[in-house]
Structure 1
Amino acid sequence: MEGYTTVFTCEMPIRWGDMDAFGHVNNTVYFRYMEQTRIEWLDSHGVANDFPGQGPVIVNASMNFRKQLHYPGTLLGVMSCARPGRSSLDTHFELRRTDDPDTLYADGDARIVWVDYAAGRSVPWPEALRACLPDGEAG
């Protein structure tokens, strides 16, 4: 996606409980896969819990369901980011199966805003996190 840099890739299982009565992965679960990719990305930098009282909030999210997913299988979650703003970050996600990596099963977007929870407002990205982002040098 133009203007975005791939920052993280992870694998995660499709679980039996992810399916609905129609025998395919329920549409709400795709957002969980997107969330899991995002959390593993934060964890990979060792900074997910380093900022007491602050953290990421998703202010909008969307998903394009391209092809049904079924159990069993392993997903490949790919996360890309645009250049960060002062407190916001636009992210893009792709979901593929590891046994069918050329097929895009779903893709989506989420805007993350870094928030001071007590104040209830956005604050600048912490320097340690900003360094993990595309063009993330402080400034």
Structure 2
Amino acid sequence: MSDYHPVFEMTMPIRWGDMDAFGHVNNTVYFRYMEQVRISWFEHLGVAAESGDGQGPVIVNASMEFLKQLHYPGDIICTMTVGQPGRSSFDTGFELRRADEPDTLYARGNARCVWIDYAAGKSVPIPDMLRATIEHAGLVKSDRVG
């Protein structure tokens, strides 16, 4: 992720219900963690999932590399990064660590966000405020969610 820069970090609890029958956090939950950090970043910026003019982000692809199993209980630190934006899209990265093992990477993922006009179902240019934030933002650390 050398072309990416960190923009948002938050801590979340691992919930009992995040685990599956094998006793570790289910793979699908990692995508929910990635979703939550992305949504919290948008909220921090004041960008709603749908702006007043009927535009907003959609995810067109997402991937996750599972490096180490997570287990309840504990807290996770989720760090979001962004790449340089295109006309209507930008790539996000995600790294997940346990708060009690901050030097150990448990998972990393990516998702491409495309800004669309919801009614038209077509991509539109990323709003100037969001573009400037993506291009110039530093890391923001948020309070624990949970």
Same-fold call, TM cutoff 0.5: yes
- Structure 1 segments unaligned to the other structure (5+ residues): none
Distance 2:11 2:43 in 1: 14
1:59 alignment counterpart: 60
Which residue number in structure 2 is paired with residue 122 of structure 1?
Answer: 123
Structure 2 gaps of 5+ residues are 138-146
Aligned 1:9-24 pairs, distance under 5 A: 9-24=9-24
Q: Matches of residues 1-139 of structure 1 in structure 2 within 5 Å?
A: 1-49=1-49, 51-52=51-52, 53-135=54-136
Name the amino acid aligned to 1:96: R
CA distance in 1, matches of 2:49, 2:39: 11
Q: Is the CA contact 1:6–1:80 (under 8 Å) kept in the aligned structure 2?
A: yes
Where 1:42 maps in the other structure, the secondary structure is helix
Which residue identity does 1:11 align to in structure 2?
T
In structure 1, what is the Cα distance between the partners aligned to 2:120 and 2:74?
42
**TM-score, length-scaled by structure 2:** 0.89
Q: Give deviations 1:20-45, integer Å, cap 9, x for gaps.
A: 01000000000000000101111111
Give the letter for the 1:92 counterpart: G
Matched-pair contact (CA < 8 Å) for 2:16–2:73 = yes
Per the TM alignment, residue 54 of structure 1 is displaced from its structure 2 partner at its CA by: 1.1
The alpha carbon displacement at 1:50 in A equals 6.4
Moved more, 98-107 or 42-51: 42-51
Assess if the C-alpha contact under 8 Å between 1:97 and 1:103 holds in 2.
yes
Instruction: For 2:75 and 2:13, locate their aligned partners in 1 and report how far apart those are by CA, in whole Å.
Output: 4
Deviations 1:70-94 (A, max 9, x none): 1111110001111000100011100
Identity of aligned residues (%): 67
How much has 1:134 moved relative to structure 2?
A: 2.0
Distance 1:54 1:62 in 2: 24
Stretches of 4+ moved more than 6 A in 1? none
Question: RCO greater where, 1 or 2, for CA within 8 Å and sep 6 or more?
Answer: 2
Instruction: Determine helix, strand or coil for the equivalent of 1:131.
Output: helix
Query: Structure 1 residues 86-95 or 44-53, which shifts more?
Result: 44-53
